[in-house]
Amino acid sequence: MKEYVLITGGTRGIGKAVASCLGEAGYPLALTYASDEENACRTKEELARKYGVDVHVLQADSTDRASIDNIYMYLEKQDIKLGAVVLNAGITCRDSFEEMTLEDWEKVFFANVHFPVFLLQRIVGLIGEGGCVVFTGSLMGIQPHAVSLSYGVTKSAVHSLVRNLMKSFVPYKIRVNGVAPGFVDTEWQRNKPAEIRRNIENKIALGRFCEPEELARVYKMLIENTYLNGEVVVVDGGYSYK
Ligand SMILES: NC(=O)c1ccc[n+]([C@@H]2O[C@H](COP(=O)([O-])OP(=O)(O)OC[C@H]3O[C@@H](n4cnc5c(N)ncnc54)[C@H](OP(=O)(O)O)[C@@H]3O)[C@@H](O)[C@H]2O)c1
């Protein structure tokens, strides 16, 4: 049997699409969610029914340091051994430079950078040799972000983490990679006004948002290709900043 894949923020959006793609390929899953338990249970049931794989869902908020221990204790208790970890959950803060507070700045840093690092430190012993870690970065960690300074800076840090953690993980024989998505048609993007969505589409060579399912296949490739290490794969449909 394949080892489990842990996906943070795995019950909706990109994380759910990755879970679905991996579930279809027979991987058992452990998916975290922040607060929407009803949706998490629906996702668990849907994936287990469709693909016949074991699916666990557990509550873990990346802004809450206690969630690191909670995830570890849950995996330990359930005797879950991991083949891959997808560090996907991320948050943003759209306050302007003038209005942003240190508290919110720290919260975005904690969730997007500190949390995944210290979660990995806690659970690395549960990841088998030959396993891998995949981070969700962002195109906004490469292009300057007009709306959220903390988001752009933390996603740049995530890309840097991929390359630096790769070194730390050599003794464990665990690979570390990342995906930098452009604009993916999840609720996050769907809730934007139509005019803003059109402006975005006009900047993408393919003229459309990325479907979560086509992005998910890149995560699967990173998990399964045993020679990919320290890469951040940009999946942006050919975006140019105008
Ligand atoms: N969508 C895009 O265009 C895009 C582009 C580039 C990068 N990204 C990155 O992709 C990742 C996922 O984005 P998405 O669009 O799929 O977002 P999403 O739809 O908001 O993802 C939702 C998932 O993340 C969980 N989540 C939300 N807040 C959380 C928190 N504070 N702690 C832990 N989990 C939390 C949700 O749980 P609940 O259901 O309980 O809230 C759910 O499982 C993020 O890191 C984002 O920065 C997205």
Give me ligand 1 centre to Cα 136, in Å: 10
Predicted pLDDT of residue 146: 78
Residue of the nearest CA to atom 25 in ligand 1? 9
pLDDT at 142 over 70: yes
Confidence of residue 214 (pLDDT cuts 50, 70, 90): very high
> In ligand 1, which atom is closest to the CA atom of 16?
43
Q: What is the mean pLDDT of residues 197-219?
A: 96
Q: Which of 7, 136, 197, 211 to mutate to test ligand 1, by most ligand atoms within 8 A of the CB atom?
A: 136
Residue with tokens 């507070």: 101
Q: Model-level pTM?
A: 0.97
DSSP structural state of residue 44: H
The predicted model gives 13-40 an average pLDDT of 98
Tracing tokens 């979560």 back to the chain, one arrives at: 212
Query: 207 φ, ψ to 5°?
Result: 70, 20
CA of 90 to the centre of ligand 1 (A): 5
pLDDT of 240: 75
DSSP 9-28: T-SSHHHHHHHHHHHHTT--
Q: What is the pLDDT of residue 231?
A: 98
Exposed / middle / buried, residue 167 (Cβ in 10 Å: 0-12, 13-18, 19+): exposed
What is the position in ligand 1's atom list of the atom closest to the CA of 155?
A: 47
Task: Determine the CATH number of domain 4-235.
Answer: 3.40.50.720
Considering only CA atoms, which of 128, 136, 175 is closest in space to residue 158? 136
Is-contact 138 189, C-beta < 8 A?
Answer: no
Question: What DSSP line would sit under 130-173, residue for residue?
Answer: EEEEEEE--GGGTSPPSS-HHHHHHHHHHHHHHHHHHHHTGGGT
Atom of ligand 1 nearest to the CA of 139: 6
Ligand 1 probe mutation, 11, 12, 88, most atoms within 8 A of CB:
12
Best mutation site among 16, 20, 33 for ligand 1 pocket (most ligand atoms within 8 Å of CB): 33
Each domain of the chain, given as residue ranges in start order, spans 4-235
Q: Which helix (H) or strand (E) holds 47?
A: helix 37-51
pLDDT (tens digit per residue) in 94-114 = 999 999 999 999 999 999 999
Per-residue pLDDT tens over the stretch 50-66 = 999 999 999 999 999 99
Distance CA 26, CA 198 (A): 37
113 Cβ contact list (under 8 Å, min separation 6): 154, 157, 158, 161
pLDDT in tens, 147-167: 899 999 999 999 999 999 999
Predicted confidence band of residue 67 (pLDDT cuts 50, 70, 90): very high
Instruction: Give the pLDDT confidence score for residue 242 in this predicted structure.
Output: 57
Cβ atoms of 222 and 131 closer than 8 Å: no
User: Residue 175: which of 157, 183, 185, 163 has the closest Cα?
Assistant: 163
